[in-house]
Amino acid sequence: MTMNYEILKLTPISGDFEEKHFGETDTNPLWIKFISIDSDCWIGSFASGDIGLVNEKIVEIDKSSKIGILTNGAFYLIDKDSRDLILHPENGFFTDFEILLDQDLIFLATNWGIYILKNNKLIKEIRPDFIDGIRFTKKTDTKLLGEIYEPGDEWIEFELDIQSLKLKWQKYEY
């Protein structure tokens, strides 16, 4: 089944499509219309996170019906075909994410570290000292690459080994 999505700039009129609400009630949620050739369209409402950060990232995961959604700090992993919520961590302080479906790994970045989940359960937390942001830039077969912002400096590259889950940043290893 082929499915795409469209971010809606205006709040939809109730009743036009089936609606599903994710997260707590929010005055300004992210509205996404999921479009399917094989079945009815539906609309998801995704509540913002707990921070005043404005960020948005949506990733459809190849060869699956899963989609990762980040909106203003809140992260959601849903099954767009069944319309089910798979994962929504309580704290909405996320700045970026990467999903490696073949290994059941999810990497959630915050301003202070990275949470690593396997099978939707937290298995490791990496919290470098004195940092003020993390973002992912590239994925390879064995590494997740990104940048860490250290106050007073610029963004400095890091690499995270996907197998060992060790992060190397400057002279440090976590």
Domain of 75 in residue numbering reads as 1-90
Same domain for 5 and 83, yes or no, is yes
Taking the C-alpha atoms of residue 36 and residue 79, their distance in angstroms, rounded to an integer, is 13
Claim: this prediction has a pTM higher than 0.95: no
Nearest to 34 by CA among 95, 72, 92, 84: 84
Q: What pLDDT does 3 receive?
A: 60
Taking the C-alpha atoms of residue 132 and residue 174, their distance in angstroms, rounded to an integer, is 17
- The pLDDT tens digits for 113-155 are 999 999 999 999 999 999 999 999 999 999 999 999 998 889 9
- The pLDDT tens digits for 59-77 are 998 888 899 999 999 999 9
Of 38, 61, 90, the one marking the end of a domain is: 90
Beta-bridged to residue 92, according to DSSP, are: none
DSSP 104-165: TEEEEE-SS-EEEEETTEEEEEE--TT---EEEEEE-SSEEEEEEE-TTS-EEEEEEETTT-
Of 39, 68, 90, the one marking the end of a domain is: 90
Number of domains in the chain: 2
Same domain for 80 and 106, yes or no, is no
Radius of gyration of the chain measured on its C-alpha atoms: 17
